[in-house]
Amino acid sequence: MGKQTGAHIVWDWNGTLFHDNDAIIGATNAAFAELGLAPITMEQYRTLYCVPVPKFYERLLGRLPTDAEWEVMDETFHRYYAEHRVMCGLTAGATELLAGWRSAGRSQSILSMYVHDELVPLVRGFGIEAHFIRVDGRTGPSGGSKAEHMVRHLASLAGVDPARTVVIGDAADDAVAAQHVGARAVLYTGGSHGRASLEAVGVPVVDTLVEAVAEAERLAA
């Protein structure tokens, strides 16, 4: 795509650009049912959720799941999610924000922990792929942190300066990944984490993607 010299946004997908909260909580409860756990509400999920994901299950089980339990829960989660994501759409205003950032001559990309081979056609299906210089999903096992994936993602973006890069996501792990590569972060309260847990991270926290982009512009100036 040529050399990028200005501000760059690395967007998270699930819970940020893609408003999939209903599918996420449904898939989580389907996975819990496999171990006989009671279902939880979205508010409980947003309070307890953390990365790596097995630690999240530990908060509810009182122990880490065994390897066999993790495999069953992980498979159940992804099967349920794949069936129900079709009812989810982009976060309100996302399309206009992406177009505006691009038309201003700035670059943006997606880095998600969602499976790469499923992420790319999903992004394409919403007609927004052209706004990004790169779209990366997860290619290895699920459940880990985004930090090492962020290293590879930024390394693949020719001319993008980490110091002028802002990660926009809905989870504390997005801020950890940004810090890992020398980028900044803005966290959005509309996804997997509640405001209290996001504010504990020590980066700007916003309630809308409009605010997130405005903050990214300020941080990357």
**Per-residue pLDDT reduced to its tens digit, 89-131:** 999 999 999 999 999 999 999 999 999 999 999 999 999 999 9
**Per-residue pLDDT reduced to its tens digit, 158-189:** 999 999 999 999 999 999 999 999 999 999 99
pLDDT (mean) for 144-155: 93
HSE (side-chain half, CA atoms, 13 Å) at 74: 16
Average pLDDT of the chain, as a whole number? 93
Instruction: Determine the pLDDT at residue 55.
Output: 87
Q: Give dist(CA 189, CA 213) in Å, integer.
A: 14
Contact yes or no for 114/14 (Cβ under 8 A)? yes
**Per-residue pLDDT reduced to its tens digit, 12-44:** 999 999 999 999 999 999 999 998 999 999 999
Helix, strand, coil percentages, rounded to 5, for the chain: 50, 15, 35
- Stated as kind and residue range, the H or E segment containing 186 is strand 184-188
Instruction: Determine the pLDDT at residue 4.
Output: 45
Q: Give dist(CA 18, CA 124) in Å, integer.
A: 13
For the chain, state the CA radius of gyration: 17
pLDDT band at residue 60 under the 50/70/90 scheme: confident
Instruction: Determine the pLDDT at residue 68.
Output: 95
Report the percentage of the chain scoring pLDDT > 90.
83
Q: Using DSSP, state whether 177 is helix, strand or coil.
A: helix
Instruction: Determine the pLDDT at residue 1.
Output: 38
